[in-house]
Amino acid sequence: MYFILEYSQFIIEGFYVTVTMTLVGLAGGVVLGVLSALGDVYGGKLLKIIINSYVEFFRGSPLIVQLLIFYYSIPAITGVKWDALTAGSLTLMLNSGAYQKGYFKGAIEAVFKDQLIAAKSLGMTFPQTLRHVVLPQALRIVIPPWTNEYVSLGLSTSALIVIGIRELTNVAVSISAQTFRPLEVYLFIGLIYFVWITLSLKVLDWVYNKVKIPGLAVSEVM
């Protein structure tokens, strides 16, 4: 497998794109997930319908189809042109946000209601209660399911190959086509994914053990 070292620069660049797109999608998904969860829990009927329609579309359709819609269909319909990285980033954010909405909703609803009553009795406004009582706890409770989303999104970045983004899987396809040694190439790329995800999970598990709320197990939220 030493021949793969000749392509190390391309592999590193592909891995960088994969990690970057994962983090961008995850960060955008956190924002969308929190806002969607808050709207679903505390919003009106119309807002809930809009949020649930968004969630159902992105959870009920393949990521590849979503990528094709954002890269080809939307620009063709609206006349707004954007590059593959922009289309891919937006799609990953919206897709991740749809899944994270469910995680954050469960975490928000897990915050004991007597704490909300206590905050109100202290004269805290609703935004203050969200900021100082609900969200600090929800963000810690949600780490285990959020970790699953990180893993899922990281592996799903391989779908970006359909719109030509040079992420890790796309690079592997190119190297395989040039060397005619797909077994070694794909095994090596698979090993990179495995090491990256495994190390990330260990770090996130360590973070959760440091910040988890005593007396509120993950099983109570899921």
User: Mean pLDDT across the stretch 190-219?
Assistant: 84
Q: Given this model, what pLDDT does residue 216 score?
A: 56
Q: Given this model, what pLDDT does residue 183 score?
A: 94
Task: Please state, rounded to an integer, the average pLDDT across all residues of the chain.
Answer: 91
Q: Any residues with CB less than 8 A from the CB of 145 and at least 6 apart, and which?
A: 103, 106, 218, 221, 222
Q: Does residue 219 have a pLDDT over 50? A: no
Closest residue by Cα to residue 165 from 64, 29, 28: 64
Is the torsion defined by CA of 137, 140, 144, 146 positive or negative?
positive
User: In which band, very low, low, confident or very high, does the pLDDT at 1 lie, cut at 50, 70 and 90?
Assistant: low
2-25 pLDDT tens trace? 788 899 999 999 999 999 999 999
103-140 pLDDT tens trace? 999 888 887 677 777 888 888 887 888 888 888 888 88
What tokens were used for 219? 């099983």
Contact 4, 175 (CB under 8 A): yes
Q: Does residue 141 have a pLDDT over 60? A: yes
Q: What percent of the chain has pLDDT over 70?
A: 95
42-65 pLDDT tens trace? 999 999 999 999 999 999 999 999
Helix then strand then coil, % of the chain, to nearest 5: 85, 0, 15
Q: Does residue 205 have a pLDDT over 70? A: yes
Q: Given this model, what pLDDT does residue 55 score?
A: 96
pTM: 0.90
Kindly list the structural domains of the chain, giving each domain's residue range(s) and its CATH number in brackets, ordered by start.
2-220 (1.10.3720.10)
